[in-house]
Homo-oligomer: A and B are copies of this chain.
């Protein structure tokens, strides 16, 4: 984030609190990003140990959410922020909710690493899933980066990556359904992969939410429930 944002406060202490909260969101985001990378790797490679690690780290993510949430409430009560300070705190409260749910979805993906048999892994479109995982990870990283720097242009660009993820998701689920039809006995096991793919797709949706909060903070405009075009338009306009 532009350093001048923090310099505008008379209270050094308030500056420090806001900077600290952004740092904490980044740390939480870093955990989720790692969880996501590990989860996809655990599933694609069948690494049970890594899958266990993903599951354990979810507690850490949950604890971070509660901690940051409390810190935000304290800031609201003590500092009674207005204007962009208030929008920042609200954007943080919303972002950590999405981050926590992204962690839950990553955990679901990781759990597949424990259940999946080698034969399922060989028959499923694992390279497509790995590629989808890579896109989702890139989008998550981009959304967090846009948040850290409160960069509206990047937020708009990153939000649009979701289109590609949705299209990969369609490809993978269609392949999986064709396989189920061809090998009905594999239905229950392939369904697990379907769930994991769905979780990846949902992580993309939530990364888009974070991009929307960046626009909300910087422009003061709520771009939820709008198209990509409308979002870009709002993001380039003046702050109202």
Taking Cβ atoms with an 8 Å cutoff, the residues of A that contact B are 62-63, 65-66, 69-70, 73, 76-77, 80, 82-83, 86-87, 90, 93-94, 97, 173, 177, 180-182, 184-185, 187-188, 191, 194, 198, 222, 224-225
- How many copies the complex holds: the figure is 2
Contacts of A188 in B (CB 8 A): 177, 181
A182 is contacted by which of B86, B184, B191, B194 (Cβ under 8 Å)?
A: B184
A180 to B86, CA, bound (A): 51
A224-B187 contact in complex given A76-B86, A86-B77, A93-B90, C-beta closer than 8 Å: no
Decide if B187 touches A177 in the complex (CB within 8 Å): yes
Sample of 7 further A-B pairs with CB below 8 A, known A62-B224, A66-B224, A73-B87: A65-B225, A76-B76, A76-B90, A90-B93, A93-B94, A177-B187, A181-B184
Chain B residue nearest to A62 in the complex (CB): B225
Contacts of A191 in B (CB 8 A): 173, 177, 194
